[in-house]
Amino acid sequence: MSRNAKINTLLLVLVAALAVIPLVFGLGDHKEEPFAGADAEAETAITEIDPDYEPWFSPLYEPPSGEIESALFALQAALGAGVLAYYFGVRRGRRQGEARALERLRAEADAGAGTVSERRRV
């Protein structure tokens, strides 16, 4: 097994452990919503510290249910992943195109140098 394969396997095991450990040890069992987002946790902490707190801003759009909010978040994540994948694909394509162009130029230069040297002999 190559070094890169060992590193990739280790990273994959670590990611799987990060996903499974909270479920195995029941780290969210004492909460009503064990996997609520950081926004809900922050709101709870703020209201405990200062019950009279007034938010500075209100949301532009409040989804009618948690499912729609989750779907919009998933859509946002998918769009972000698509943009990143497109960017990295374009970068890789440009690099490959540049490498092919350099190979072609070297091949043409080598072929051209051979004909010039033959002309000098004559």
Stated as kind and residue range, the H or E segment containing 74 is helix 66-121
Q: How far is CA 13 from CA 6, 7, 21, 24, in A?
A: 11, 10, 12, 15
| 36-62 average pLDDT score | 85
| 3-9 average pLDDT score | 94
What does pTM read for this prediction? 0.51
Top pLDDT among 94 and 42 is at: 94
Span 15-48, pLDDT tens digits: 999 989 988 887 767 777 666 677 778 888 899 9
Looking at residue 5, its pLDDT comes to 93
| 94-100 average pLDDT score | 94
